Structure 1
Amino acid sequence: MENDQIMRRKVRVLFSSNKNPNFETFTDYIEKAFKEVGCEIVFFENRDFVIPGRIRDRFAFLHDFDINILNKRVLKMAHDFKPDLFLEDGGWNILPKTLNVLKGAGIKTALWTNDPPRDLLAEFEPIKNAAPCYDFVFITGTEAVEPFQDINELHLLPFACDPDFQKPVMLTDTDKKAYKSDVCFVGSGHVEIYPDRIRLLESLAELNIDLSVWGPGWETLPDTSPLKKKICGSSLKTAAWVRLFSAAKIIFHSHYQDPLGGYANYQVNPRVFEALACGAFLLVDDQKDIRTLFQEDEHLVIYHNAADLKKKVLYYIENDTERKRIAENGRREVLQNHTYRHRVEQILTITGLAKE
């Protein structure tokens, strides 16, 4: 639905999240999307603590003190701004008592939680405790359905893309020299966190292909790893990885899974939507929610194990026409159904703030 069709007056949104000063993130895209549909939005930094984390984390009373200060600040902002909707990204630091005050003032409250529920970890407890106090809870993946099963207004709201940032780009000769490859991976490579990802990439390194690996953590690999020679860079600005997505024949992606098997992760990573928006051909693992949102071999291609991955890499490197057809279909699909503007419009509709 379009802005001029759904908005009769400006809806006010108080958006509680955190920003990365070095590059654009989910937070920036959501803030921008609310403005695009005609909302008036004010941003609250929900990790702007007074006490340094290294001290706060050592003493529970200091942590509680800082959390209470932060909650008083968000209440002051809500009192001054008088929003129609309070939208919290994450859910770690906003207390139930704060939500009750907001609702008592006639403000609708919504949580958009985007990390897999980690029941075995203490850090998930604040989210789980506060979630029932929100009017609406949005989850990015179906792994959160069970932990939040008692919440009436529970809605799946996956990540998405912003076509103004993620889009095909014309590559200069310098870009081609720096970024062109047969297969490219962009993401973290910390050994203790992503063992499956590393094993899969090491299997690709055995092939006679041009493989490039970008992102933080790869420098920790042992010197014996065949990936050592494939590492091209660490932290990247948005403009750089958009060029990577445009330059590679195949973008490989592997979702995070808990190495200890303590909790499930079914959600679709933002990188999937962003790569497709750039017109990339995406070869991705068999993630449960992918099959709900996309059609296999039509919008992207799914691999099932290392052998299947290698087989499909070799096939699609050589089959340009089929690879480009799938990439074009994938881009069309995310632009039609999976932008952050779509997500914001869903939020407004579900919360009853979209106007006929």
Structure 2
Amino acid sequence: MRLLVLGGSAFLSRAVAADAAARGHEVVAVNRGRSGAVPDGVRHVVADRDGPFPAATAAEAFDAVVDVSRTPSHVRKAVAALPEAHWVFVSTINVYADDSDPGGPGAGRLRDPEPDDVDAAGSPEAYGAMKVACENLVLEGAGSAAVVRPGLVVGPEDPSGRFAYWPARMARLLDDDATEVLAPGHPDDPMHVIDARDLAAWLVDLAERRVEGVFDGVGPASTVGELLAAVARGCGAEPRWRWADDATLEAADVRPWSGERSLPLWLPRPEYDGMRAHDPAPALAAGLTTRPVADTARDTLAWLRATPDAAVTGLTAAEEAEVLAGLPGGRRPDRS
């Protein structure tokens, strides 16, 4: 197979290019060359998608294209240049208009498409709306296509720092006598994650088999308690979890999901139940296979240790200690 990866140098798209090259496919990656090197065995075409689609690349015959773009103009130009290839477009569950509704393809209501290129910084609505427009461009313009809407993608090389918070927190626990670790919500709250390497392998499968359809690209259903237990197990840690409910976290000015002063992966209920609980069955039936979360956590911790500047987002040690001290039975941190 001759595969074009629009991206190919960072996280998920890089994992796609690496997996396809390892299978012996001829892989070409088009990107600006600013996010790192493409994998070994992948031909790199340097191009800025803000400009015209590269004419020489458009003249080549590709069996399939994998695109991760959020920018409608980029997708519009690429589909027009390569309409005969089989397209695998990586979208997001942020296309759904109601974050509390776990309804998937054909059931969940989508955001109104945003056909223009908008700065989505700090605006999940714009991000999801542009992804809807990109989906439409692919489904209407390509001869055949699969659209995959991932949820939380995790693993080594993740630039977001969200999941990495937890292996990093386990590493800090291993170096400290204190075993208490702040945990978000309730251990039975639903949650699912998917390792970027597993998602990438499935995207290549979809390209190879020219599978058509729309899927939620989420891992097997789990709970926050099971997820954190698996992270601890993969990192060789034995924390004593101190669970804090939504109201307690909000009162302590802890922020959800990611970023400064956040407890990553925490999503208040019920307004975000849909993001937590999309059905993995159609993707699993279409060939998605996933590794244990413990393995992902182990590999992420190894990557963090080998990459001192890797992104890790969330509460600092001092901020977590302050929140723990405010829980029933908590001990004020020593400020001496």
TM-score over 0.5 for the alignment?
no
Q: Which has the higher helix share?
A: 1
